Amino acid sequence: MQSFIHIESPNYLKPEELPNPPNWSSVFGNEQPVALEIGCGVGDFMLKTAIDSPETNFIAIDFYNKGCYKTCRRLDRHGVTNVRVLRDEAKMFITERIPKGSLCAVYINCPDPWPKKRHRKRRLVNKQFVEFLMEYMVPGADFYFATDFDDYGEDVAAMLPQIAGLENMFGEDLYRHEFPGYHLSKYMRKFMAEGKRIYFVHYKVKQGE
């Protein structure tokens, strides 16, 4: 069992200390649009993405305390101020802490693939979860998903066109193995070094839906 690491950082928030739901403009001290990363890992993707987009506020959540700690350390070292990190389970956090129709983007990079067939129903990203997420996204919001697991990538890519109100930003391609301008996480780089391909998908919530 991993020991619990105490996190002392201006970028770290405890969900239980936030209002339900919080006023994120007050939390960040500005009216910038808010994006969410589900499963921030050790924070390298979020660091690069937040530096690239100072006009956006980012909420980065992870279920693992060690990942939150490493993410905060990384953000603090670089003086990043437009990210807040929280340790929580995704669906519970979104339901309790994100106002509906408020997110400008959702990023999900390399979630647990639950590779055994009997466990695949535990996978985070499925039709029900994406439809749930759409309630919390603004028209024009971006949805990004990436995985190194072939069967997970193909399943999600085949499922997304079935969801009304989403537009595929890759045109006729259900997924791509290269996504210029999209930062690679530590895990993606590791998988690619092992010869694995990353499956990227990028959709937008249609305007007026």
Show the DSSP H helices in the chain as ranges. 24-28, 44-52, 65-77, 90-97, 127-134, 150-159, 186-193
End-to-end CA distance of the chain: 45
String of DSSP letters for 70-86: HHHHHHHHTT--SEEEE
Give the homologous superfamily in CATH for domain 15-205.
Vaccinia Virus protein VP39 (3.40.50.150)
pTM equals: 0.95
Per the listing, tokens 């919001």 go with 141
Residue extents of the structural domains in the chain:
15-205
177, two tokens: 């193995």
Asked if residue 141 lies in contact with residue 106, where contact means CB atoms within 8 angstroms, the answer is yes
Q: Any idea which residues carry the catalytic annotation?
A: 112
Give pLDDT tens digits for 11-68. Answer: 999 988 898 889 999 999 999 999 999 999 999 999 999 999 999 999 999 999 999 9
Per the listing, tokens 């350390």 go with 73
Give pLDDT tens digits for 186-206. Answer: 889 999 999 999 999 999 999
Residues 6+ apart with CB under 8 A from 89: 63
